[in-house]
């Protein structure tokens, strides 16, 4: 897809971080922008800011884990702008912890938001995008945690590995059925966003009755994510990577070389059938 002006982009998780940066950059490209997020006040202020800058923006309160909510988002987007050309399934949350200590609620929350959130986006938007027959692009946000693994992050890694696999299948399916619609998977490194405070959006349904995981290892990962994302890249770098990736029709939007090298260690281990090593611990 090369032509952005007056086309429409839908971005989930658009009230903060990487999603907000994508919404701002798409707006700068002259696109209509639909911002979807579960955090109401942040969504309202992000939408208002884009509109105040002259952008054509629609904010839709959306819970990506809820198929009906995403269906309502699609209706709102098509109702407002008539067509959708770019869909960024970006909303995501994180928990840490030893895989045997994470609660059922931890697993369900991450799978519902990080995986079903993408699935719901695909189910509600892709049939309409195919039917329109116009050029389009879908960007799913995974993580470098999909391509390598670190201890005490198993729930997050499994959700992002699922996002990566689903994206690869989607790419192949659309190449076969509707090649005018491109697909990219964004695998960010450490980015300075609100991800460390993801629990701010954890619904009561996933947090009830002492089902929150508060272990040494979950606290350690929380502290590490807080510290390292605070010193991470600006989310605008991700938005620029996404825009360029769409223009270049590039599927894998990977992190900088340091992170790629870590991911390649794992590929080498798989090729050699060697046991996994603790790459992060050696840095």
Ligand X SMILES: NC(=O)c1ccc[n+]([C@@H]2O[C@H](COP(=O)([O-])OP(=O)(O)OC[C@H]3O[C@@H](n4cnc5c(N)ncnc54)[C@H](O)[C@@H]3O)[C@@H](O)[C@H]2O)c1
Which span (35-43, 121-129, 205-213, 275-283) binds ligand X, by CB under 6 A? Answer: 35-43
Task: State whether the Cα torsion 143-258-20-167 is positive or negative.
Answer: negative
Q: Does 193 bind ligand X (CB under 6 A)?
A: yes
Which span (91-99, 118-126, 241-249, 258-266) binds ligand X, by CB under 6 A? Answer: 91-99
Q: Does 143 bind ligand X (CB under 6 A)?
A: yes
Q: Does 184 bind ligand X (CB under 6 A)?
A: no
Choosing from 78, 107, 156, 280, the catalytic residue is 156
The answer to whether residue 156 is catalytic is yes
The minimum distance between CB 273 and ligand X, in angstroms, equals 28
Q: Does 229 bind ligand X (CB under 6 A)?
A: yes
The minimum distance between CB 3 and ligand X, in angstroms, equals 26
Applying CB under 6 A, the site for ligand X has a residue count of 32
Phi, psi of 216 (to 5 degrees): -55, -45
Q: Site residues for ligand X, window 101-120 (CB under 6 A)?
A: 113
The minimum distance between CB 156 and ligand X, in angstroms, equals 7
d(C-alpha 155, C-alpha 152), whole Å: 8
Cα 162 to Cα 116, 146, 148, 166, 167, distances in angstroms: 10, 8, 13, 6, 8
Q: Does 27 bind ligand X (CB under 6 A)?
A: no
Q: Does 64 bind ligand X (CB under 6 A)?
A: yes
Q: Site residues for ligand X, window 263-282 (CB under 6 A)?
A: none
- Applying CB under 6 A, among 201, 213, 218, 245 the residue interacting with ligand X is 201
Assigned token pair, 85? 């050309």
Assigned token pair, 257? 């070389």
Cβ neighbours around 89 below 10 Å, total:
32
Q: Does 92 bind ligand X (CB under 6 A)?
A: yes
User: Who's near 52: CB < 8 A, 6+ residues apart?
Assistant: none
Beta bridge partners of 34: 10, 58
Q: Does 96 bind ligand X (CB under 6 A)?
A: no
Contact 38, 61 (CB under 8 A): yes
Beta bridge partners of 233: 191
Residue 198 is classified by DSSP as G
Q: Does 93 bind ligand X (CB under 6 A)?
A: yes
- Collapse the DSSP code of 4 into the 3-class scheme (helix H, G, I; strand E, B; otherwise coil) and give the result: coil
The minimum distance between CB 85 and ligand X, in angstroms, equals 21
Q: Which is nearer to ligand X, 17 or 182 (CB)?
A: 17
Which span (74-82, 96-104, 121-129, 192-200) binds ligand X, by CB under 6 A? Answer: 192-200
Q: Does 188 bind ligand X (CB under 6 A)?
A: yes
The 8 Å CB, 24+ separation contacts for 55-59 are 55/27, 56/27, 56/32, 56/81, 57/23, 57/27, 57/32, 57/33, 58/32, 58/33, 58/34, 59/14, 59/34, 59/35
The minimum distance between CB 12 and ligand X, in angstroms, equals 6
Active site members: 156
Q: Could you list the residues that contact ligand X (CB under 6 A)?
A: 12-13, 15-19, 37-39, 42, 62-65, 90-93, 113, 141, 143, 188, 190-191, 193-195, 198, 201, 229, 232
């Amino acid at each position: 897809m090369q032509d952005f002006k007056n086309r429409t982009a839908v971005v989930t998780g658009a009230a903060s971080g990487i999603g907000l940066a994508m919404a701002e950059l798409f707006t700068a490209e002259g696109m209509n922008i639909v911002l979807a997020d579960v955090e109401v006040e942040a969504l309202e202020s992000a939408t208002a800011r884009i509109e105040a800058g002259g952008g054509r923006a629609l904010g839709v309160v959306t819970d990506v884990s809820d198929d009906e909510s995403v269906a309502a988002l699609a209706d709102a987007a098509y109702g407002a702008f008539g067509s959708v050309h770019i869909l960024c399934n970006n909303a995501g949350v994180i928990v840490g912890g030893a895989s045997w200590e994470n609660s059922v609620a931890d697993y369900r929350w991450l799978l519902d938001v990080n995986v079903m959130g993408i699935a719901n986006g695909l189910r509600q938007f892709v049939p309409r995008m195919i039917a329109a027959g116009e050029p389009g692009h879908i960007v799913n946000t995974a993580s470098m945690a999909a391509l390598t693994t670190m201890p005490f992050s198993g729930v997050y890694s499994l959700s992002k590995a699922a996002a990566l696999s689903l994206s690869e299948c989607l790419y192949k399916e659309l190449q076969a059925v509707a090649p005018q619609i491109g697909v990219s998977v964004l695998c960010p490194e450490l980015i300075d966003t609100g991800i460390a405070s993801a629990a701010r959006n954890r619904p009561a349904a996933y947090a009830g009755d002492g089902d929150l995981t508060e272990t040494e290892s979950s606290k350690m990962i929380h502290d590490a994510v807080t510290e390292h994302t605070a010193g991470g890249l600006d989310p605008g770098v991700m938005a620029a990577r996404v825009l360029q990736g769409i223009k270049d029709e590039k599927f894998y939007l990977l992190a900088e070389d340091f992170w790629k090298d870590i991911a390649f260690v794992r590929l080498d281990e798989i090729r050699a059938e060697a046991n996994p090593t603790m790459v992060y611990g050696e840095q």
